[in-house]
Chains A and B, each alone.
Chain A
Amino acid sequence: MDRRTLLRISTVLALAAGLGGAAQAADPVKIGYVGGISGACGGLTHSAVKAMKIALEEINAAGGAAGRQIEVVWRDSKTKPDEGAKQARDLVLTEKVDLLTGVCSSSVFMAINPISQQYGVPLVSAISGTHKATVDFGHPFVFQTQPHTLMEGKALAEYAARQDWNNIVTMGLDYEWGRTTVKVFTEELAKLKPEVKISKQLWPRIGETNLTSYITAALSEEPDAIMGVLFGSGTNSLIKQGRSYGLLERTELLTFLSTESYMSLGKDIPDGVHGWARGPFYALDSDKANAFIEKYRKAHDGEYPNDWGMLGYDAMYIIASGIDAAGGTDPEKFRQALGSMTFDTMRGPLKMRMIDNTFNAPSYLGVTKMTDAYPFPTMSDVNVIPGDVTLPSEETVKALRAAAAK
């Protein structure tokens, strides 16, 4: 072998080695995010996106997951099922993402779920509430890191059973989330406290903001409490309009109150409303949560993260730790990894169970109060109802899956 040949071979070898090394370093984990950045979820999701970006930066600065950097491709579902499915499919087929996350509305989650199943790409739902995707139509690669409707309905029943309420009117938004939560709440409460009467069930349409007729119809039953399953503008309208009907003097109100409602209504939320939430930043007093809140506020003009921001940040860390422990993005290894770990989240240590890939995420219930700590009211005396209490039993999961398979 002459010198030139040797030189050539070694050049090729060196190049190959160099390329190989470069390819490995430049081969990030690719995550596809599909969420309701605009549309009905727009007011909730923007905080989740901001929070996930912060988590992403931290994770990548600390070396990424399984030695690889994480790259996210952001897509807007416009809170529409068909648009969400289109984006998810495109992320999987064109962008070749290793994993999907995001989703906000239940209907979009249900539309993306079959795509995750069909292509075997894990889907980690950060802020969607329906249990149907993981329980009824669950498959090995769909995960849920927040309390779903079955869990929340039960948490609400637990809380209502602790109060002195014997006559309740429910007011649930007329779609999946509202209907299921009211149904589970009613069933679970009947088990816990059979003497409670549900005297009326009202179903405002999603987007309806003049709720006065609903308020008077509810008050006509002279209930001890009204249980509202509304969000965003629905919750805001109920509280604002209820005030002039003396709603809080005539009955008690338990309703979904996540942080953005406190921010937009401010002092218009009177003291004494029973609220429920999924990730209230003010009630999570850990170093991890405090550090995040500070960072978030610094990056966004002193704005506080809403519940969805807290959930989004947690979800991004859960995904990264899972990939890290699985040594990559192989779906089955990823699932095994998630099932075998305890995650140190801002909401405390969380675990995932293997039967339906859901996390034992807690629900937060308390009573509103204006304090000096924030420019808006928050919940005081927060009851944390742990996920272990509210997760449906294995039999329930099996029964729901059998019914869905029919």
Chain B
Amino acid sequence: MLFVQVMQGVMEGIFLFLIASGLTLIFGVSRIVNFAHGSFYMVGAFLTYQIYPWIAEGTALGFFVTILICGLLVAALGLLFEVFLLRRVYHAEELMQLVLTLAAVLIIRDVTKFLWGLDDVTVSLPDALSGAAVIGGTYLPTYQLVMVGVGVVVLAAVWGFLKFTHAGIILRAATDDRGMVALLGTNQAHVFSSVFAIGCFLAGIAGGFAAAFESINYLLDTRVIVLAFIVVVIGGLGNFYGALYASLAVGILKALGLLFAPRLSMVIIFLLMAVVLLIRSLRRTTE
């Protein structure tokens, strides 16, 4: 029983990581608290709903192709947002940046309402992915295993990118000290734009996977952003690996909480956040 819930928690955690990783990457480099991240996720979900029937509805391959396309479309949208709007407020105070990303939330929500209406919509899972591997009475749903796989691929790709490529080195350097990177002659604008696009790509594919997993509507943006922020805050703002540990911790704690103290399962997560913040600030004051 314990094993089932822990597995469940890991699967939920990896999915959370897909959403939160983009958010934390963007913050790490550009110091922008991007409230619109949830909106990009929502756009990815609705685009999947829209495009999947045109590609090859019902097939697993068509589904993955759809999600890839949606991820790229959302990345393009994010790029437009970054280049035309966000770039202009990098040097403004935080409040201005917040107002801009919040405005994006509201605009994207209204456009979503206009295009897809108020009703819940869902995407049917392709049959090939809707089953489960049953091991000794434990159900491990295929789809969630696939999502774990995607999470691992994303993790490996970002890790490899950060560790081994030139661009990755610049990115890590930019996270540490933006000014120094600029002084050394790297075009910051390119770094910011590409990271923002990558973050939006991750949000887009996460949304695409969610479309087949749950029910989507125009309120998805704020629903998701809160959880993503919890994860990012626990993991340390801008800390990519921290986001991974935090996602897993949140997923597993929630699942175990439901088994032993159903009424407290969300409280436990917020307690974790409080404890992490407390320890972090104590450490800062003692140093």
Residues of A that sit less than 8 Å from B by CB: 38-40, 42-43, 46, 200-203, 205, 207, 209-210, 212-214, 216-217, 220, 232-233, 236-237, 240-241, 243-246, 260-261, 263-268
Contact = CB atoms under 8 A, between A and B. Distances in A.
Contacts of A201: 262
For A210, A266, A267, which residue has the most chain B Cβ atoms within 10 angstroms?
Answer: A210
A83 B40 CA distance: 28
Contacts of B177: none
- Which 7 pairs between the two chains have the least Cβ-Cβ distance? A236-B215, A244-B141, A209-B214, A233-B215, A213-B255, A217-B258, A42-B118
Contact of B215 (A214, A244, A264): A264
Interface string B176-193: 000000000000000000
A246 B132 CA distance: 8
B120 A43 contact: yes
Interface in B237-286: 254-255, 258-259, 262-263, 266
Contacts of B12: 210, 212-213
Interface of B: 1, 4-5, 8-9, 11-12, 15, 113, 118-122, 124-125, 130-132, 134, 139, 141-144, 210, 213-219, 223, 254-255, 258-259, 262-263, 266
Contact of B262 (A202, A209, A240, A261): A202
Interface of A is mostly: helix
A254 to B, nearest CB: 19
For B119, B143, B210, which residue has the most chain A Cβ atoms within 10 angstroms?
Answer: B119
B29 to A, nearest CB: 28
Given A240-B214, A264-B120, A265-B122, A216 B5 contact: yes
Given A212-B12, A244-B142, A263-B119, A202 B215 contact: no
Contacts of A261: 120
A216 B217 contact: no
B62 to A, nearest CB: 17
Nearest to A208: B223
25 contacts: A38-B113, A42-B118, A42-B219, A43-B119, A43-B217, A46-B119, A200-B262, A202-B262, A203-B262, A212-B12, A212-B141, A213-B255, A216-B4, A217-B258, A217-B259, A233-B217, A236-B120, A236-B122, A237-B213, A240-B125, A244-B131, A245-B132, A260-B119, A264-B119, A265-B122
A243 B213 CA distance: 11
B121 A245 contact: no
A261 B218 CA distance: 16
A40 B141 contact: no
Contacts of B255: 213, 216-217
Given A213-B258, A266-B124, A245 B215 contact: no
A233 B214 contact: yes
A263 B117 CA distance: 14
Contacts of B120: 43, 232-233, 236, 260-261, 264
B189 to A, nearest CB: 37
A245 B8 CA distance: 11
B199 to A, nearest CB: 21
A216 B10 CA distance: 13
A161 B12 CA distance: 35
B8 A212 contact: yes
Nearest to A261: B120
Contacts of A263: 119
Contact of A268 (B5, B124, B254): B124
A208 to B, nearest CB: 8
Contact of A38 (B4, B118, B223): B118
Contacts of B141: 212, 241, 244-245
Given A212-B11, A237-B215, A245 B139 contact: yes
B8 A213 contact: yes
A243 B122 CA distance: 14
A240 B214 CA distance: 7
B217 A205 contact: no
A77 to B, nearest CB: 14
Contacts of A214: 258
Contacts of A236: 120, 122, 214-215
Contacts of B218: 42
A237 B216 CA distance: 9
A86 B120 CA distance: 28
Contacts of B124: 266-268
Contacts of A213: 5, 8-9, 12, 254-255, 258
Contacts of B262: 200-203, 217
B215 A220 contact: no
A264 B130 contact: no
Contact of B144 (A39, A40, A244, A265): A244
A58 to B, nearest CB: 25
Contacts of A38: 113, 118
A217 B134 CA distance: 17
A245 B243 CA distance: 28
For B118, B124, B263, which residue has the most chain A Cβ atoms within 10 angstroms?
Answer: B118
